[in-house]
Amino acid sequence: MAHGQSTIDKQAVKAFFLQLQDDICQQLAQEDGQAHFIEDAWEREKGGGGRSRVLRQGHVFEQAGVNFSHVFGDQMPASATAHRPELAGRCFEAMGVSLVIHPHNPYVPTSHANVRFFIAEKEGADPVWWFGGGFDLTPFYPFEEDCQHWHETAKALCAPFGDSVYADHKAWCDRYFYLPHRDETRGVGGLFFDDLNQWPFEQCFAYTQAVGKGFIDAYLPIVQRRKATPYGERERDFQLYRRGRYVEFNLVYDRGTLFGLQSGGRTESILMSMPPMARWEYNWSPDEDAPEARLYRDYLKPREW
């Protein structure tokens, strides 16, 4: 835990996260070409606040939310101390950027990314800190080359940080974004990491920056390739049905959602990851030879890209 303690720079981390939110919003709005992000600044009663930005009913994006938050307090929420009892009795700061994009066109995948930093401090003790984050892709009508591009981008940004980083964080993503009650992954994965503090602070921060910046490089080329693909009611229905899985994961399994709600975060900002529309259908599955069956057969289980 004591790596690089003298060089922990919370202000540099916060400045990076704020800039990242600006950059991603600017690039998504430019890609959309029609809608703009509306900013909603908020304050948390127990300490901290954030900037929620949401773009709605754009040309390309039905809804895109990019949140920055920085919350602090003198007591850890239960969701954090359950995993790490040593954090009880410490004051904490948590900050990060989190985003979810729900495009109109069912041929453009839904996508999610986040990067975050956490530090817990107590008089007379070394601070406990870590970074976390990642990005993942949830296609409805997947294209092999899109998934390969996504994973190649992830692999390239991991390479400078060690030979096993991509393989480890890709496998972690496959494990994390998994719906046990459906026995399927949420999508085709990407990167996921948490509790990152085994390297010096600067290196952990540099990796987190690479992941944050890498998201747009991974996602926008896929959007550009697919946004003009013609689709009809059938594809839209399937997209809404599969968005239901997104809701199931976020409400039942997502640790960030639980942490946010338990720590008294802003409910509207936490739940902006929800799709604007979704649907459920009792006991539905695609016909074996239907195009929708490809998703289940070839993509909703971990594989190497």
Residues with catalytic function? 112
**Residue 169 in marked binding region:** no
**Residue 104 in marked binding region:** no
CA distance 110 to 99: 11
**Residue 181 in marked binding region:** yes
Q: Provide the 3-class DSSP secondary structure of residue 215.
A: helix
Q: Which residues pair with 72 in a beta bridge?
A: 93
**Residue 162 in marked binding region:** no
Residue 273: C-alpha distances to residues 52, 101, 258, 262, 288 (Å):
11, 8, 13, 17, 31
Q: Provide the 3-class DSSP secondary structure of residue 100.
A: strand
**Residue 83 in marked binding region:** no
**Residue 3 in marked binding region:** no
136 phi and psi, to 5 degrees?
A: -145, 155
Residues shown for the chain? 305
Alpha helices in 50-137 (DSSP H): 78-83
Which H or E run includes 209? helix 201-226
**Residue 151 in marked binding region:** yes
Q: Which residues pair with 99 in a beta bridge?
A: 66, 113
**Residue 98 in marked binding region:** yes
**Residue 266 in marked binding region:** yes
Q: Which residues fall in the annotated binding site for a divalent metal cation?
A: 102, 112, 151, 181
Q: Which residues fall in the annotated binding site for substrate?
A: 98, 114-116, 264-266
Q: Which residues fall in the annotated binding site?
A: 98, 102, 112, 114-116, 151, 181, 264-266
